[in-house]
Amino acid sequence: MKKIVALLLAALLLTVCCFGGCAKKEAGKPTLTVAISPDFAPMEFVDTSKSGQDQYVGFDVTLAKYIAQEMGRELVIKPMSFDACQAAVQTGTVDMSISGFSYTAERAENYNLSDYYYAGDNETEQSIITIKENEGKWTKAEDFAGKTVGAQTASLQMNLCNEQLPDTVTIKEFSDIGTAVEALRNGNIDALAVANGNGKAIIANNDGLAFTGFDFEVDESAENNVIMLKKGADELTKQVNEILAKAYAAGLYGQWYTEAETLAGIDTAAEIGYDDQGNVAG
């Protein structure tokens, strides 16, 4: 009897040690905490069929996974609003934010910004969307006179509204793009300023919305995206830049973007265009 108890105890001890050991090893792996604002398909958004960390998908999430893997760290995504992402980087509560950031001179002053990464055609154009009834109606800045236009807080789109729309426009801030889309659908705002690729995703997922026909004038420095890190985090920034160069050299960006578009419900096939034989046209 004593022998059996001893054996059982030994077995138990072994199991506990093994699991404990394994868990410790997992927990011991350094983490990479990345803030994202998952309201910006196809760059970062939520797959509602999944839960936990798996629910965050999109181009930037793929990029974050790649960076974590290259660094030998365990990725921890911290979802938060777009303005909160920036505050979290500034205060250092996260290692970085990968959230579709455009380069702006002001951001470059306050943060370490990575080299550019190619973000598909998400931001080659900056546009304004509206309800279907107003499709194609407003093509010049003056056409928005007296209208209410929404934009995300602390975004490039907010800057563009302030700089390029007439003074008679009421600009409404939204910390969350999903909430802004609801406001548009409910008639609380007339239009919403968006990155063109994001606009495509919003329209694809919301019946009754369309492009106004207006595009902002955008400096080409804003076309590609950058990762935002804490000012002075030079070593980490250097590491990130090396990994971005590697992803670029491996030709991964285009494929990641197409995958993200498909996941976001954007019909890439229609955009590419196929001939009768099903081959890519042109």
Q: Which two tokens stand for residue 69?
A: 């893997």
- What SS3 state is found at 248? helix
- Binder to ligand ARG among 62, 86, 127, 155 (CB under 6 A)? 155
- Binder to ligand ARG among 101, 118, 216, 256 (CB under 6 A)? 101
Alpha-carbon distance of 160 to 177, in angstroms, equals 16
Residues 180-239 that bind ligand ARG (CB under 6 A): 195
If the CB atoms of residues 101 and 138 are measured against ligand ARG, the closer one turns out to be 101
SS3 string of 178-212? HHHHHHHHCCCCCEEEEEHHHHHHHHHHCCCEEEE
Residue 28-47 contact track with ligand ARG, rule CB under 6 A, x = bound: ---------x-xx---x---
Alpha-carbon distance of 113 to 184, in angstroms, equals 33
If the CB atoms of residues 130 and 196 are measured against ligand ARG, the closer one turns out to be 196
- Binder to ligand ARG among 62, 102, 112, 224 (CB under 6 A)? 102
- Binder to ligand ARG among 113, 156, 169, 244 (CB under 6 A)? 156
Quick one: 124 exposed, middle or buried, by C-beta within 10 A (0-12, 13-18, 19+)?
A: middle
Stretch that binds ligand ARG, among 18-26, 148-156, 227-235, 239-247 (CB under 6 A): 148-156
- What SS3 state is found at 59? helix
If the CB atoms of residues 99 and 114 are measured against ligand ARG, the closer one turns out to be 99
Stretch that binds ligand ARG, among 98-106, 213-221, 247-255, 256-264 (CB under 6 A): 98-106
- Binder to ligand ARG among 100, 120, 150, 199 (CB under 6 A)? 100
With binding defined as CB under 6 A, does residue 99 bind ligand ARG? Answer: yes
Query: Strand 148-152 vs strand 170-174: parallel, antiparallel, or unpaired?
Result: parallel
E strands, 107-224, where?
A: 111-113, 126-131, 148-152, 170-174, 191-195, 209-215
**96: nearest Cα among 223, 243, 202:** 243
Give residues in contact with ligand ARG (CB under 6 A).
37, 39-40, 44, 82, 99-102, 123, 152, 155-156, 177, 195
